[in-house]
Amino acid sequence: MTAPTPIVINYFSDVLCVWAYIAQIRINELKKEFGQSIQINYHFTPVFGDIETRIEKGWQAKGGYLGYAKHVQETAKQFPHINLHPDVWHKNPPHSSANVHLFLKAAQLSLVEAPDNFETLVWQMRHAFFHNAIDIGTLNNQLAIAETLNLPTECIINNINNGLAIAALCRDDTHCQEHHITGSPSYLFNNGRQKLYGNIGYKILAANIHELIRQPEQQASWC
């Protein structure tokens, strides 16, 4: 008997987004509950592509980096499953999330046959920033994290040098524009017909998947 086609979830996030850091526990639970019934495709969106403009200028009236750092800490206190370093966004913040997204796309290309290793790398990048206050925007720190996981760093760097990684990142940007992805995290189901964005509860995510599994031939139903 042929295995049913898995439900595809296109997951868009910025590695520096605290809401995506918070949401990782839900991604883990989806994989645990649905297993081979779902396929999560990871894409990156540059919410923090230009951090100076977004924070220093966007938060100028609210304290700039210090004001934003306080806001992130207060947000995190609502979710006991995460613990933020007190220096996050306060000392040596990254200049852009684009650098780490480029590295991760290069790694994604290098780990096609080992998707679990790629997912672990994404999590370790997020964890290094939020839990350890490491500037993951620098190549040296990116390589150090990849090396602790015994990943093929030479292949990763080659994918950056030859342009394959930036091409993959540009495809992510194209997907964001086509599907009007404006924030992180965002979940796209059902060939783009269903989109969820932000701090979405697990039961809502799971309900969407259950419905798609239950009615694979009627995925555009009114409900």
pLDDT for the residue 2? 59
Q: Kindly report whether the peptide bond that precedes residue 94 is cis, defined as omega within 30 degrees of 0.
A: no
User: Are 83 and 107 contacting, i.e. CB atoms less than 8 angstroms apart?
Assistant: no
The per-residue pLDDT for 101 is 98
Q: Give the ranges where 1-97 is alpha helix by DSSP (H).
A: 18-34, 51, 64-76
pLDDT of amino acid 222: 47
Averages of pLDDT over each 10 residues, the chain, 223 residues? 81 97 96 95 96 86 90 95 94 93 98 95 97 96 98 98 98 96 94 90 94 69 47
Distance between CA 17 and CA 119 in Å, rounded? Answer: 16
pLDDT tens, 126-138?
999 999 999 999 9
Domains of the chain, earliest start first: 7-214 (3.40.30.10)
Token pair for 181:
């992805």
Q: Is the peptide bond before 6 cis (omega within 30 degrees of 0)?
A: no
What is the model's pLDDT at position 56? Answer: 78
What CA–CA distance (Å, rounded) separates 77 from 21?
Answer: 13
